[in-house]
Chain A
Amino acid sequence: MNNPEKNIHPILSLLFSLILFVTGLLFVKKPWFWIYLASFFLLFLLFCFGRTMLRLIPFVLILGALTAGLTAVNGKPSDILYAFYRVLAIALAGVLSISVKPIKLVRAFNQLKVPRWLTLGLLIVIRFMQIFYEEIQQIKQAIVVRGIRFTETPLLWARAFFIPLIVRVLNISEGLAISLETRAFSTESEGTSYEIIAFEKRDWLFTALFSACLLPFIYLSLGGLK
């Protein structure tokens, strides 16, 4: 369905995601919000974002139910609906940004002459979130094996969790820094890109259709057709 090789240009994806995020939240209370959602839903299907949208369904259902439930505590029925709509709007904006491959985004940033330290840092953060997720699971297992319970001794639990975690952070970052330095990475030098991320026909077509979908709703929100 969604071939990552056929994604939209990473910078365009980010830009359109930002636009969808802002307009989605602005239009939440409009009676035509569903048409707005449906039109972008169709656009994304047309550009093969089906798999990404499927991946977001559990997020929408769980978070939507949670926020709607929290709003139901002291909100009106319309507020509950708007809370769910907000999650939908965020998910819609997320379709484009989630589909961006981090390495392609970094390469696109490099081409835009974004400072090397920034793109390198971004790549490390994205890559190491997965690594540290596994580290955290291991530390938690070790805590359980030692019989420490958060509910019984929270301070001891925090100590047993944070100190090994920070020691791992220090060790991993030390090793990674040495590894980068030996590969001639530095904050001053300008790197070359392995792959050129260029604008293609597909990107221009997406831009045109995206604008065609969005502009009528902006016109309506500004008081058009009154």
Chain B
Amino acid sequence: MNKIKLEAFTIKDIVFLAVITAVTLLASAPIAPIVMTVTKLGAQACAMALPFGLLTSIGLRKVKKSGSLIIIGFFSGLVLLLMAPVMFFNQLVATLLSEGLALVLFKSYENRKAVLFSAGLFSFFTIPTTAVVNILAKGRTLAEQIGNPLSFILLVVGAAALGFAGALIGNRIADELKKAGKL
């Protein structure tokens, strides 16, 4: 049985992951302030799923080392720490869960499904952390956060679906770039 391989990151990898994080944050910047204060659980994840899925999947196609998504989570979390401090934990936990699960299932990013899974579920996994943060920091119960169950289910499914759609588009772009000899 294959094991999860841990490789050291070079400066080249770190720089690429940092730059892709900057672009991801910029791509989500027009939507982020609008959903930042929305109290409905899942709304933020749903809004961020597409740009995060798309750009992180390209990042993972270029740097196929275990821990790449966690590094993206660290970088985006550290920048968001300056704007909304709780977002740091949100990003970090989401990348840990998403990458952890993807690597447990597929072992390495050489498998394209691992990239799809990891990048696609990044936003989705911010939902549990957001719920915990809302309970601890805002004193809002889970029932209050969920509100109407139907709209909550739609938001959760939407976050996963948009994340996967983004990751799929990202993979297509990565394929084209690979064909052109750029990736």
Q: Cα distance A97–B171 when bound, in Å?
A: 36
Interface residue B85 (Cβ < 8 Å from any Cβ of A): yes
Q: Does the CB pair A118–B15 fall under 8 Å?
A: no
Distance to closest chain B CB from A166 (angstroms): 6
The answer to whether residues A162 and B11 also contact, given A63-B33, A169-B23 and a CB cut-off of 8 A, is no
Distance to closest chain A CB from B60 (angstroms): 13
Q: Please indicate the chain A residues that have their CB under 8 angstroms from the CB of B38 in the complex.
A: 67, 70
Q: Does the CB pair B173–A162 fall under 8 Å?
A: yes
Q: What is the 8 Å Cβ interface bit string for chain A, positions 90-126, against chain B (1 contact, 0 not)? A: 1001100110100000000000000001101110111
Q: Does the CB pair A180–B75 fall under 8 Å?
A: no
Q: Cα distance A18–B82 when bound, in Å?
A: 9
Q: Does the CB pair B85–A21 fall under 8 Å?
A: yes
Distance to closest chain B CB from A44 (angstroms): 16
Q: Cα distance A81–B164 when bound, in Å?
A: 37
Q: Which of B110-118, B154-162, B175-183 contacts A (4 or more CB under 8 A)?
A: B175-183
The answer to whether residues A66 and B34 also contact, given A22-B86, A22-B137, A132-B23 and a CB cut-off of 8 A, is yes
Q: Please indicate the chain A residues that have their CB under 8 angstroms from the CB of B79 in the complex.
A: 122, 125-126, 129
Q: Which of A34-42, A47-55, A171-179, A199-207 contacts B (4 or more CB under 8 A)?
A: A171-179
Which residues B70-116 have CB closer than 8 A to chain A?
A: 71, 74-76, 78-79, 81-86
The answer to whether residues A125 and B11 also contact, given A26-B139, A163-B177 and a CB cut-off of 8 A, is no
Which residues A141-185 have CB closer than 8 A to chain B?
A: 158, 162-163, 165-167, 169-170, 172-174, 176-177, 180-181, 185
Q: Does the CB pair B173–A93 fall under 8 Å?
A: no
Q: Cα distance A125–B38 when bound, in Å?
A: 26
Distance to closest chain B CB from A91 (angstroms): 10
Number of inter-chain CB pairs below 8 Å: 148
The answer to whether residues A173 and B19 also contact, given A185-B11, A187-B9 and a CB cut-off of 8 A, is yes
Distance to closest chain B CB from A21 (angstroms): 5
Interface size counted on chain A using CB atoms at 8 A: 54
Nearest A-chain residue to B59, judged by Cβ: A169
Q: Does the CB pair B177–A167 fall under 8 Å?
A: yes
Contact of A94 (CB < 8 Å), options: B16, B74, B83? B83
Q: Please indicate the chain A residues that have their CB under 8 angstroms from the CB of B21 in the complex.
A: 121, 125
Distance to closest chain A CB from B118 (angstroms): 18
Q: Does the CB pair B36–A125 fall under 8 Å?
A: no
The answer to whether residues A187 and B10 also contact, given A66-B34, A128-B19 and a CB cut-off of 8 A, is yes
Distance to closest chain A CB from B131 (angstroms): 14
Q: Does the CB pair B173–A26 fall under 8 Å?
A: no
Interface of B, secondary structure class, is helix
Interface residue B18 (Cβ < 8 Å from any Cβ of A): yes
Q: Please indicate the chain A residues that have their CB under 8 angstroms from the CB of B26 in the complex.
A: 129, 132-133, 136
Q: Does the CB pair A166–B15 fall under 8 Å?
A: no
Q: Does the CB pair A26–B137 fall under 8 Å?
A: yes
Interface residue A87 (Cβ < 8 Å from any Cβ of B): yes
Known: A26-B137, A97-B81, A162-B169. 16 other contacts (CB 8 A): A14-B82, A22-B86, A22-B137, A66-B33, A90-B84, A94-B83, A117-B14, A121-B21, A124-B22, A125-B25, A132-B26, A158-B169, A163-B177, A169-B19, A180-B11, A187-B8
* B residues apposed to A, CB below 8 Å: 8-12, 14-23, 25-26, 33-34, 36-39, 54, 58, 62, 71, 74-76, 78-79, 81-86, 136-139, 169, 173, 176-177, 182-183
* A residues apposed to B, CB below 8 Å: 14, 17-18, 21-22, 25-26, 28, 59, 63, 66-67, 70, 83, 86-87, 90, 93-94, 97-98, 100, 117-118, 120-122, 124-126, 128-129, 131-133, 136, 158, 162-163, 165-167, 169-170, 172-174, 176-177, 180-181, 185-187
